[in-house]
Amino acid sequence: SDRDHDGGRGVAALDYRAHPDAERFISECVATERAATGLRLSAVHRVGALRIGDAALVAAASAPHRAEAFAAVERLVERIKHEVPIWKRQHFADGVSEWVGL
């Protein structure tokens, strides 16, 4: 879920924007992790306006043991965060806003 602070500044709202091919990039990330682990995986990233506390990214794995699932989801989330062109605009409590991930 999204936090209500960044660098000591209060965040009032968030807005996510994505490259038109972001879903394809997410699918490629899922396929790469699936090929490496053999696990069933899925992920989705929301775009548009989100409230603080809303889930921006949801990833799930099905595995015989939870440790495998947790590790695969962690790798998948990190891959998505670093490889998929999704940008976040933070709207701070003081009225200032800034883009993150550009």
3-class DSSP state of 54: coil
30, 80 contact by CB (below 8 A): no
Domain count of the fold of the chain: 1
CA atoms of 50 and 36, how far apart (whole Å):
32
**pLDDT 10s digit of each residue in the chain, 102 long?**
455 555 667 888 999 999 999 999 999 999 999 999 999 999 999 999 999 889 999 999 999 999 999 999 999 999 999 999 999 999 998 989 999 877
Confidence (pTM): 0.84
CATH number of the domain where residue 72 is located: 3.90.1170.40
Structural domain harbouring 70: 5-100
State which H helix or E strand residue 58 sits in. Answer: strand 57-62
